[in-house]
Amino acid sequence: MTQPPIRVLLVEDQDAHAELLRIRLRRFDPRFEVTRASNGREALELLRAEAFDLVILDYDLPGMNGIEILEEINASKRRLPVVVVTGQGNQHIAVKAMKEGASDYVVKEKGYELLVPRVARQAYDNHLLREKLRKTEERYRLLYENALEGIFVESAHTWTLIDVNPAAEKLTGLTREELLSRSFRDLVPADQGALVDRLREVVLERGKDSTSDLNLLRRDGELVAVDTSITAVEQEGEPVILYIVRDVTEKRRLEQQILLSKRRLQALFDSITDYIFSLTPDRTLIMVNRKLAEAAKARPEQLVGRKCLEVLHPLASFCTDCPAEETFATGRTQFREHTFGDRTYHLWTYPLFGLDGRVEMVIEHIKDVTEQRRLEKQLIKSEKLATIGLLSSGIAHELRNPLNIIETARYALEMILADSVPEAKPKLEIIRKNVQRASKIINNLLEFSRHSSHEREEIDLNRLLDSTLAIIEKELSARRIEVVRDYGEIPPAYFNLDSLKQVFLNIILNAVQAMPDGGTLTLRTRYDEPSGQLQIAFSDTGHGIPPEALPHIFTPFFTTKPVGEGTGLGMYISHTIVKREGGDIQVQSTVGRGTTFTVLLPAAGRSPVQVVVRHASEPSPFVPRPEINRLD
């Protein structure tokens, strides 16, 4: 999802400094939208008229200095992060600005324009966190004041109440002032005073929360039966005891709500058309949806309490590599794909943690993806046909029959001229080599377009990249695209050869089309041994991808190409293929500078890895070691 812009008010009277800061801010984060004011009055008028997220304020301004403007902002009660820029040697002004509420400051010295964007973004992020904390505290205070339970806060030093909520006043019939002069022990009958003392000891000395049934004395002498939860917390560095008191009527009402919630959850479970159930560590079913029960020819309640293997007997092979067992052991979500006959299933397991931090339950979700896979195959076939159609014009004059005619004529000329015109031999040799080159192009293309199976094999990625480049060697040369091969020493991948070839060709063709006036295409391969992750990067120097389009790159039928020049399926299919095998594709792009697609794959013999998405602002993990091969 596209993030909202960060609206910045830049108050700077010097044009050169203002423009420099505007450029640096935009380069640092394209979300920065900068509005400039050249003096204090203009800045205050803009603040009254428009909404800003951040103010960057130069101290030395005509008419009003930065501190005076900051005081005006504070007087308006607007909560805005403000970064003050001071002159060198004016640290005392920076200190004063911080006392007046500035978020941070930057000294205007050499290179300060590089520091301002980072400080501004940090101030903005910190402001968001503070606002979130303030709103959270307000929400908690609102919950505290409006809670149906009576809440009593008691000092662990003086044993007097230091705070109560309105529900506590209502429950006891006493005012806040009357309650704050008493101990919680004073609010229970004398025969329960010793019980209160023991509960205090448990929560303070043993650090354990306690609950108990007590009777609470009202002003009118009436006893109210209550459930009381007691816990020890710190408030401003001092230990206090928190009593949360509920009367029996409220408890029963909540129990009814819990029962209703369980019924709603079961109804939600039953409405899901996939197979869903929950397991305990000993593989006992504790919740089953109607879909799974129907498959087992039973009612959900008949399956609860049984072992999963009993219910999933037709799917017993899951147990050879049980994802639920791994989730219980690691606390992480697991994924598996299994095929049974002509059906393909995706299986996910999700951990649910107990209060002790251990996995208490695992939710297992099984989805039939047979139809989805069938559609994916159709899409892949469609995209292959579209790709071959794009290439057909480039090889129309290089088909086998014309090549055979050329080779036959060359051979005849060689026989005729071998003795009489010896200087013709080098020219005929050139013809022979180029006929072989054209034949190789055709063979590569035919190999690429053959029917793809789902069998995996060990693949030399560097060699596969070279063979993929050979398919479009002529187009690269015609478009004046220089290819840089920066191959590392890497282990093989374990993948479907045709599928991976399709992925590489899709990415390379996109790069070629992004450089209509020529450019450089850099291919880099690396291996990250700790994660077992192969990294294949394709970098072009093309026009780049707009930031607003980046989130949609892998969306089906989304394309940035003109109508008729793309199906919008190439990157979607490539992403789907790679993700299915436990890998990922990352994209980094800067408009006007180029784009890098990085394919991440597990090496042969390594399990699929958790992939961390690298943002465009982070440096590339590849160290350039270029070996330049110009295709001409």
User: Is 34 within a domain?
Assistant: yes
Identify any residues that bridge with 520 across adjacent strands, giving them in sequence order: 482
- For residues 108 and 85, is the Cβ–Cβ distance under 8 A? yes
CA distance 169 to 296: 55
Same domain assignment for residues 110 and 153: no
Report pLDDT for 302. Answer: 85
CA distance 160 to 205: 19
Report pLDDT for 314. Answer: 55
Would you say the C-alpha torsion 492, 495, 501, 506 has a positive or negative sign? negative
Under the banding of pLDDT at 50, 70 and 90, the label for residue 382 is low
Q: Find, among 117, 70, 78, the residue nearest to 94 by Cα.
A: 70
Same domain assignment for residues 158 and 285: no
Under the banding of pLDDT at 50, 70 and 90, the label for residue 385 is low
CATH number for 361: 3.30.450.20
CA distance 454 to 511: 27
User: Is 426 within a domain?
Assistant: no
CA distance 186 to 163: 15
Q: At 223, list the tokens.
A: 């006893």
Same domain assignment for residues 588 and 468: yes
Same domain assignment for residues 338 and 211: no
Grouping H, G, I as helix, E, B as strand and the rest as coil, residue 11 is strand
User: Is 169 within a domain?
Assistant: yes
Write down which residue in 143, 171, 188 finishes a domain. Answer: 143
Write down which residue in 304, 333, 368 finishes a domain. Answer: 368
Mean pLDDT estimate for the chain:
82
- Longest Cα–Cα distance in the chain: 132
Range of the domain at 292: 272-368
Report pLDDT for 520. Answer: 96
CA distance 111 to 120: 15
Report pLDDT for 442. Answer: 63
Same domain assignment for residues 620 and 504: yes
Write down which residue in 143, 158, 190 finishes a domain. Answer: 143
- For residues 303 and 288, is the Cβ–Cβ distance under 8 A? yes
Interval 142-162 mean pLDDT: 87
- Tell me: pLDDT of 623 over 60: no
User: Is 402 within a domain?
Assistant: no
How many domains does one find in the chain?
4
Q: In this structure, what are the phi and psi dihedrals at residue 296, rounded to the nearest 5 degrees?
A: -90, 5
pTM: 0.34
Least confident of 149-163, 252-266, 497-511: 252-266
User: Is 185 within a domain?
Assistant: yes
pLDDT digits (tens, 9 = 90+) for 73-86: 888 878 889 999 98
Q: In this structure, what are the phi and psi dihedrals at residue 374, rounded to the nearest 5 degrees?
A: -60, -45
Helix, strand, coil shares of the chain, percent, nearest 5, are 45, 25, 30
Same domain assignment for residues 134 and 10: yes
Grouping H, G, I as helix, E, B as strand and the rest as coil, residue 265 is helix
Same domain assignment for residues 58 and 202: no
User: Is 337 within a domain?
Assistant: yes
Angle subtended by helix axes 370-395 and 424-449, to nearest 10? 160
User: Is 378 within a domain?
Assistant: no
Same domain assignment for residues 348 and 473: no
- The more confidently predicted of residues 158 and 391 is 158
CATH number for 476: 3.30.565.10
Residues 6+ apart with CB under 8 A from 626: 484, 485, 486, 522
Under the banding of pLDDT at 50, 70 and 90, the label for residue 5 is very high
The rounded percent of the chain whose pLDDT value lies above 90 is 30
Identify any residues that bridge with 194 across adjacent strands, giving them in sequence order: none
- Tell me: pLDDT of 594 over 90: yes
Report pLDDT for 612. Answer: 35
Report pLDDT for 613. Answer: 34
The CA radius of gyration of the chain, in Å to the nearest whole number, is 36
Least confident of 289-293, 342-346, 554-558: 554-558
User: Is 294 within a domain?
Assistant: yes
Same domain assignment for residues 490 and 621: yes
Q: At 470, list the tokens.
A: 């050979």
Q: At 124, list the tokens.
A: 């903005």
- For the chain, counts of helices (H) and of strands (E): 20, 23
Interval 576-580 mean pLDDT: 86
Same domain assignment for residues 211 and 291: no
Report pLDDT for 340. Answer: 78
CATH number for 131: 3.40.50.2300
- Tell me: pLDDT of 263 over 50: yes
| Position 100, amino acid | E
Interval 90-94 mean pLDDT: 78
Q: At 293, list the tokens.
A: 């029960």
pLDDT digits (tens, 9 = 90+) for 166-221: 999 988 999 999 999 899 999 999 999 999 999 998 898 887 888 888 889 989 88
Same domain assignment for residues 139 and 209: no
- Order of strands, edge to edge, in the sheet holding 275-279? 285-288, 275-279, 359-368, 343-353, 334-340
- The more confidently predicted of residues 510 and 445 is 510
Under the banding of pLDDT at 50, 70 and 90, the label for residue 567 is low
Interval 267-288 mean pLDDT: 86
pLDDT digits (tens, 9 = 90+) for 440-456: 666 555 544 454 455 78
Same domain assignment for residues 62 and 200: no
